Structure 1
Amino acid sequence: MQTLRRLLIPLVAAVVLVVAIPGVSRADDGWGGVDCSTSPSNPRCTVEVGYTGGGSGNDGDGGGSISCTIGGQPVECYNEFGWLGSDGCYYGKDAGGYLPANQWIKTCINPETDETTDWGIVILDQPPAALGVLTQRAVDSLEIPTPAIAANPKFTTTQVVWVPVWWWVQPGWWQTQTASASAGGLTITARAVPKKITWDAGDGTSARVCEGPGTPWTAAAGMDTESPDCGHTYTVPSGGTGYTVRAVATWDISWSGGGFSGTEPAITTATTANVTVTQQRSVVSG
């Protein structure tokens, strides 16, 4: 079970800017008889959001359930105003879909009187707490592979200085990975899209950033032709220990569902291989 706990304070860290209403946006003055602006550590000022159940890789449905409490009392994670935030207010979108992805309509309601105590449009740098738990579950369920790397001359073949090396990832590896998580009738789908491969030849030269999967070598290219997009030429022998080639894949992460969307920090995966480079040229085949 994933749990996210936050204290109810007038301005949560996620709120960067408040517009459309004058003065300071206050979510919880008088919340349940407790002024959370002066007593933020009071147990009645604690929001807890939990998610129980599946997240899925490419082949599952990610079914699960989400629950929310404030001060230990069950509350709606989602209602007509939107998703419960870490400050106890609800955050939703406009019906026409005109608001940018990082802008939300904030509605704060006194649970004892059912009156709206605050309303406005705010900018969030992360999803509201309840939606965020579901989103994180989907992202955590992504099965992102390490690079399936290949080269010519092959990594297992002794290589020779001044002979161009071609690098690429195996066909079929460079593709989007998806995973989903569902609760309350909403499914969030997370996507990991390969963006680039950063290759380190291991010989102390600068890393080579390849924006695509690279081009597989063919015999028609010959042994003295450089790769058109991703490769390296060694100029110094490796010695007995060889060089460690490291390929780091960078994946762009995004999510969407139910009219919501957003991005998450990029994720990297890596693979290494050892190569021996000599001074003497020999016959090398792919």
Structure 2
Amino acid sequence: MSRVGRLFVLAAAVVATAAAAAVGAVAAHADTQQCTTDPYTGVVTCIVVRDPTPPPGSSAPSSGGGPTGCTWAGAAVPCSTDLGWFSNGCYWQAMSPQPAAGDPAWQGHSPGEGMIYRKYCMYDPPGPYYIWSADPPPGAPATLPPAATVALRAEAQLALPTLRAQSNASAAAATYVAVPTWLWVDPAGWHPLSASASVGTRAVTVTATPVATLWNTGDGSAPVRCAGPGAAFDPARPYDPPCGHTYRTSSARQPQTGPAPNDRYFTVRGSVVFAIHWVCSGDCDQASGDLADMTWGTTAMPLRVFEVQTVVVNH
């Protein structure tokens, strides 16, 4: 995003109002213009910073709020502007969208547990600052978190199944080098799952729909991605699996895991890829949207791979 210079005359108005209230007192105060770049948006914001020391004869700084209005350094200031809501010398504004889970701004909390606010202050340095708070700033109207943030809370409630990895080969049956090996998960578990969460009058339902499987075949090959759950082995077409892998090396050099010399396996692990879509109801800032795909692991499967040696004999 390109940097956009913005000069908020709000703070300058505060200085002017204070000057009118106490003629000659303002000269004793150091008013400076501070410009900062928002690390999230790249927007450059400039504000006139008012020395917080109240001029002679004025009241002390107040967070204000509510019907009595807001004051700072003995001067009236707007309680709400495009910088947010005024409280304790700063304007607070809930970030929208909220930072992703794991962002340092959450201070170890999870999305949906309070909110991250951007603060611009009337004292030096002005900010912006990013702070987590469980509640809105004092005097501010209740702020609902973005629907996308509530969706993250709903996503955490999903009860995804751990599907069993299956193959026509197994620890007992084995497969062979250069022969296609079938891979699949139980199709009975291949269906959408939903969960809901709400904050105040804003409710969000998340639906996770399985769309693909990823297979780590254990032999160092690139992961195999299949559209769908795969299919159980069909002896009518053994060399044409809807989802499968052809091994190029045997498992003979894998660590021995059982009493027999041939108890050597590749460990196959699958993951189901879920597409995440959410829908909001009630008081919504956004009707619907998508979250990042989620992957959910299957059970692990030992798979023994043999190699057939061909011997040519002259007659």
Could you tell me how far apart the structure 2 residues matched to 1:142 and 1:166 are? 29
Q: Does 1:148 align with 2:161?
A: no
Kindly indicate whether structure 1 or structure 2 has the higher relative contact order, using CA contacts under 8 Å at least 6 residues apart: 1
Could you tell me how far apart the structure 1 residues matched to 2:163 and 2:202 are? 32
Q: Could you say which structure has the larger radius of gyration?
A: 2
User: Relative to structure 1, is the Cα distance of residues 73 and 140 closer, same or farther in structure 2, using a 3 angstrom cutoff?
Assistant: farther
Could you tell me how far apart the structure 2 residues matched to 1:213 and 1:248 are? 10
2:32 corresponds to: none
User: Relative to structure 1, is the Cα distance of residues 153 and 261 closer, same or farther in structure 2, using a 3 angstrom cutoff?
Assistant: same
Aligned residue among 267, 273, 281 for 2:301: 273
Percent identity of paired positions between Structure 1 and Structure 2: 24
Aligned residue identity for 1:236? T
Q: Deviations over 1:194-215 (max 9, x none)?
A: 2221112212222211111112
Check the 8 A contact 1:168/1:214 in 2, yes or no: yes
Could you tell me how far apart the structure 1 residues matched to 2:290 and 2:204 are? 12
Could you tell me how far apart the structure 2 residues matched to 1:155 and 1:218 are? 19
Cα displacement (A) at 1:40: 9.3
Check the 8 A contact 2:170/2:304 in 1, yes or no: no
2:245 corresponds to: 232
User: Relative to structure 1, is the Cα distance of residues 255 and 201 closer, same or farther in structure 2, using a 3 angstrom cutoff?
Assistant: same
1:253 corresponds to: 276
What does 1:210-225 align with in structure 2 at a 5 Å threshold?
Answer: 210-221=226-237, 223=238, 225=239
Aligned residue among 205, 210, 221 for 1:189: 205
User: Relative to structure 1, is the Cα distance of residues 154 and 242 closer, same or farther in structure 2, using a 3 angstrom cutoff?
Assistant: closer
Aligned residue among 31, 46, 61 for 2:86: 31
Q: Which has the higher strand share?
A: 1
Q: How many residues align?
A: 195
Could you tell me how far apart the structure 1 residues matched to 2:42 and 2:289 are? 16
Cα displacement (A) at 1:33: 6.5
Aligned residue identity for 1:277? V
Check the 8 A contact 2:165/2:269 in 1, yes or no: no
User: Hey, which bits of structure 1, 4+ residues long, moved more than 4 A?
Assistant: 10-17, 39-42, 45-50
Aligned residue identity for 1:69? P
Could you tell me how far apart the structure 2 residues matched to 1:150 and 1:34 are? 62
Secondary structure of 2:229 counterpart: coil
Could you tell me how far apart the structure 2 residues matched to 1:33 and 1:270 are? 48
Cα displacement (A) at 1:217: 1.5
User: Relative to structure 1, is the Cα distance of residues 137 and 13 closer, same or farther in structure 2, using a 3 angstrom cutoff?
Assistant: farther
Aligned residue identity for 1:260? A
User: Relative to structure 1, is the Cα distance of residues 280 and 173 closer, same or farther in structure 2, using a 3 angstrom cutoff?
Assistant: same
Q: Which has the higher helix share?
A: 2
What's the TM-score, normalizing by structure 1? Answer: 0.56
Could you tell me how far apart the structure 2 residues matched to 1:131 and 1:12 are? 23
User: Relative to structure 1, is the Cα distance of residues 33 and 160 closer, same or farther in structure 2, using a 3 angstrom cutoff?
Assistant: closer
User: Relative to structure 1, is the Cα distance of residues 164 and 47 closer, same or farther in structure 2, using a 3 angstrom cutoff?
Assistant: closer
Check the 8 A contact 1:155/1:274 in 2, yes or no: yes
Q: Deviations over 1:230-281 (max 9, x none)?
A: 1112232101431111212222222111262122222212232111112249
Could you tell me how far apart the structure 2 residues matched to 1:47 and 1:203 are? 47
Give the unaligned 5+ runs of structure 2.
1-35, 48-80, 92-119, 257-263, 310-315
Could you tell me how far apart the structure 2 residues matched to 1:30 and 1:188 are? 26
Cα displacement (A) at 1:16: 8.0
Q: CA RMSD in A?
A: 3.7
1:163 corresponds to: 179
Secondary structure of 1:134 counterpart: helix
Could you tell me how far apart the structure 2 residues matched to 1:164 and 1:11 are? 57
Q: Deviations over 1:148-167 (max 9, x none)?
A: 22111245422222332111
Aligned residue among 175, 183, 195 for 1:179: 195
Q: Deviations over 1:65-111 (max 9, x none)?
A: xxx421x456323xxxxx4xxxxxxxxxxxxxxxxxxxxxxxxxxxx
Could you tell me how far apart the structure 1 residues matched to 2:249 and 2:132 are? 58
Could you tell me how far apart the structure 1 residues matched to 2:218 and 2:183 are? 14
Check the 8 A contact 2:194/2:208 in 1, yes or no: yes
1:76 corresponds to: 142
Cα displacement (A) at 1:170: 0.5
Aligned residue identity for 2:224? R
Secondary structure of 2:86 counterpart: coil
Aligned residue identity for 1:75? P
